[in-house]
Amino acid sequence: MPVESRYTYGVAGERFFREIKDHARLLGTRCAACTVTFVPARAFCERCFAELTEWVEVSPHGVVHAVTVVPHGDGHRVIAFVQLDGADGGLVHELEVPPADARIGMRVEAVFKPAEERSGSMRDILHFRPESQAK
Ligand SMILES: [Zn+2]
């Protein structure tokens, strides 16, 4: 499943993916009028259509809001919609857990590829995994 096909590149998308590539950071854009933070970043507010110029860094941690298990090769992959902390949107991405362990409401974090392997796409995030207990 080509996860990245859900996202269109545009002015906002370019900056969003460049930030992932260069700094392994997730950016959103914020509409102060609607008090909404969009992730992935978008150029216009989908509620009031204002142009969005306020960029905010969004946590790579979030909560699983939906999961689906899709056949993949000999096994299955878990695909999740993760709402990121501090954002009103989120990302659809692979979740690295056995299908039976996938739960709505579980805390997860994004795992980025090493810098030298990142190319500026949604695939620069390897997957989400359950939040580490280490902190
Ligand atoms: Zn708005």
pLDDT single digits (tens) 36-56: 999 989 999 999 999 999 999
* Gap from CA of 47 to ligand 1 centroid (Å): 5
Check if the beta carbon of residue 110 is closer than 8 Å to that of residue 39.
no
The rounded mean pLDDT for the chain is 90
* Environment class of 99 (CB within 10 Å of its CB; exposed 0-12, middle 13-18, buried 19+): middle
35 CA from centroid of ligand 1 (Å) = 7
Which of 9-18, 50-59, 112-121 has the weakest average pLDDT? 9-18
Cα separation, 41 vs 58, whole angstroms: 10
CA 55 to chain centre: 16
Which residues does residue 14 pair with via DSSP β-bridges, in sequence order? Answer: none
Q: pLDDT tens, 77-101?
A: 999 999 999 898 899 999 999 999 9
